[in-house]
Structure 1
Amino acid sequence: MKFVLDNWYLIVLALASGGLLLWPTLRSGGGSLTPASAVQLINREKAVVIDVCETEEFAAGHVVGAKNLPLGQFEERLAGTVKNKALPLVIVCASGARAQRAVGLAKKLGYENAQALSGGMRAWREANLPVEKA
């Protein structure tokens, strides 16, 4: 206990630096796949784009050619939608948080090439990439 009291500033410094290291990941909604990287995966490796938004959100705007699998139905419908587990998956939602959860589910089901789009549809739109409305 004496060590903690004598060196409180070191503990505060360690916690602050850890928080600063985590900040970009928490702010971006997880994932490290940029919109430009996603476009390359789609064009070069025939990645399948899966949008885990609810049906209403999907209808309001989504990546061109994306398949809608709301997160609540994701596990049940993924195998029927994407049969080839070797294909890369680009998983998208509005901000990136739901997509990150879906990546975990996809990997659990054997889709090792699943990645979440960092920043979600917000980042896609900010990059001025095409959006389709249903």
Structure 2
Amino acid sequence: MKFVIDNWYLILVALASGGMLVWPLLKGAGAGTLTPALAVQLINREKAVVIDVCETEEFAAGHVNGAKNVPLGQLEERLPTLVKNKALPLVLVCASGARAQRAVAMAKKLGYENAQAMAGGLKAWREASLPVEKA
């Protein structure tokens, strides 16, 4: 106990540094952790399929190059016919990333274990100065 009293500041520093190491993990737990740069690597190296779960009007206004539009409400019925190979990585995108997170859960339920949501959605894609198509 004397050690704790005499070295309280060391214990405080150890707890603070541990907290700083754990914080990014906790912060990223609720959101997608796939950055636009990692998504590009998946697309180029592993032939990932990009699925945009925005509504048709949003998709027409702008989307990731080569993305296929499957609105979230139609995902369960259209995904199995669109992507037959369940081993392929799926990159799910929406405007901000929230719908894509829900889409990941739906895709995994259908057997697509390599499904990931792009953190920040199309907004993050644009901020990374990556190309956007308009329909």
TM-score of the alignment, normalized to the shorter chain, above 0.5: yes
1:80 corresponds in structure 2 to 81
Indicate yes or no: 2:100 matched with 1:104: no
CA distance in 1 between partners of 2:111 and 2:28 (Å): 25
In 2, Cα distance between equivalents of 1:115 and 1:131: 20
SS in 2 for 1:78: helix
Q: Which amino acid aligns with 2:54?
A: C
Question: What is aligned with 1:35?
Answer: 36
Tell me, in whole angstroms, the C-alpha distance in 1 between the residues paired with 2:130 and 2:77: 30
Query: TM-score if structure 1 supplies the norm length?
Result: 0.80
Q: Report the counterpart of residue 59 of structure 1 in structure 2.
A: 60
**Equivalent residues, number:** 114
| Residue of structure 2 in register with 1:47 after alignment | 48
2:27 is aligned to 24
Provide, for residues 65-86 of structure 1, a one-character-per-residue CA deviation record: whole Å limited to 9, x for no partner. 0000000000000001000000
The Cα RMSD (Å) is: 1.7
Q: Secondary structure at the match of 2:42?
A: helix
Please report how far the alpha carbon of residue 92 of structure 1 lies from its aligned counterpart in structure 2 after TM superposition.
0.1
Name segments (4+ residues, structure 1) moved above 6 Å.
none
Q: Which has the larger radius of gyration?
A: 2
How big is each residue's C-alpha offset from its partner over 1:17-74, in whole Å with a ceiling of 9 and x where there is no partner? 8xx9487348xx7110000000000000000000000000000000000000000000
Structure 1 distance, partners of 2:42, 2:111, is: 19
Which amino acid in structure 1 is aligned with residue 105 of structure 2? G
Give the distance between the partners of 1:44 and 1:86, measured in 2 at CA: 14
Are 2:124 and 1:120 equivalent residues in the alignment?
no
Q: Which moved more, 1:74-83 or 1:29-38?
A: 29-38
Measure the CA separation in 1 of the matches of 2:62 and 2:39: 17
Does the residue aligned with 1:49 lie in a helix, a strand or coil?
strand
What 5-or-longer segments of structure 1 have no aligned partner? Answer: 1-16
TM-score (norm 2): 0.80
Q: Equivalents in 1 of 2:53, 2:33: separation in Å?
A: 17
